[in-house]
Amino acid sequence: MRGFSVVVLSAVLHYVEVAFSSPIASNATAAQLANRKRHWSIGYVVFPGWEPLDVFGPMEILYEMSIYANMTLSVIGKEVGPVSTVPPPHQMDPGGPIMDLSFLLGPTITATHTPETAPPLDFIFVPGGEGGVVLEKQNDTWVEDFIASRADEAQYLLSVCTGSAFLAKSGVLSGKKATTNKSAWDKVVGNGKNVTWVPSARWVEDGKVWTSSGVAAGLDMTYTFMKHLYGTDDIDQVMNIIEYAPHQDPHWDPFSLVWNVPGANKNGSMVGCAGPAGY
């Protein structure tokens, strides 16, 4: 019991500390100040085989930002209930062997809504993960159908990693620039029409659509997205609370070289880079 009270007290103190230590002086624009005052309805789309950090990287930042900003979260699955990071067994090719990935760690997230019951959404986050391939093999288009049905209402559509394949298939990337998982480049860029895929980019912002490179890049995209929305005051505080130093140059992309992405910028991508493992 004592241990529990200590945890609760430290959470309260943490809240008080961050809530009152935020800088008073602000250089936020009028639009950013207005954004801080409003409520934002956030939707996360999940499917069996979602990539953990694609969801929880941005979620960590949003979670801490919800100290300062009024946000609500809906997790949208094909059905409500637990959705695992383990994709179901699937065939990569017709007549080929069954790929069974049940040896992977399988934490779950609870889907609170279905495409039919989801409330109006201001931001829609779309993660990647091996499960995207499974949906494709099963000809199951529910994720891209959902995105297409909510694209007009949403103020922002954001994807991490191979999540941009769903955005491309939904049509929202037509006429736009985007990026994706550098280790799955060839597979993703075949999706969607009229998309300008950017080979060297940590993330790409094009109007209301933001797409990031693989997995951990979602943290950097979300940092910049929060800064765009609210100004720097609170998000910089959040970065110090979570002790993460975001990459702030969207052109920083050593992984475009590691994965030999065609057209990668050999000059700029490694600037300021300590060096990817083994590279």
Ligand X SMILES: *[C@@H]1O[C@H](CO)[C@@H](O)[C@H](O)[C@H]1NC(C)=O
In the complex, least distance from residue 48 CB atom to ligand X, rounded to whole angstroms? 13
Contact by Cβ (8 Å): 202, 253: yes
Does position 138 interact with ligand X (CB under 6 A)? The reply is yes
- Nearest CA to 69 out of 41, 90, 92 is that of 41
Does position 187 interact with ligand X (CB under 6 A)? The reply is yes
In the complex, least distance from residue 212 CB atom to ligand X, rounded to whole angstroms? 11
Specify the residue, 181 or 222, whose C-beta has the smaller distance to ligand X: 181
Alpha-carbon distances, residue 265 vs 211, 228, 269 (angstroms): 18, 26, 6
Q: Which stretch binds ligand X (CB under 6 A): 14-22, 109-117, 179-187, 247-255?
A: 179-187
- The answer to whether the Cα torsion of 257, 260, 261, 264 is positive or negative is positive
Specify the residue, 86 or 184, whose C-beta has the smaller distance to ligand X: 184
Among positions 106-135, residues that touch ligand X (CB under 6 A) are 128-130
Q: CA 173, 144, 95 angle in degrees (round to 5)?
A: 115
In the complex, least distance from residue 144 CB atom to ligand X, rounded to whole angstroms? 15
H or E element that contains 64: helix 52-65
Please enumerate in sequence order all residues whose Cβ is within 8 A of that of 257, keeping only pairs 6 or more positions apart, or say none: 264, 266, 269, 270, 279
Does position 141 interact with ligand X (CB under 6 A)? The reply is no
Binding stretches for ligand X (CB under 6 A): 27, 29, 39, 51, 70, 128-130, 138-139, 161-162, 174-175, 181, 183-184, 187, 194, 214-215, 232, 265, 267
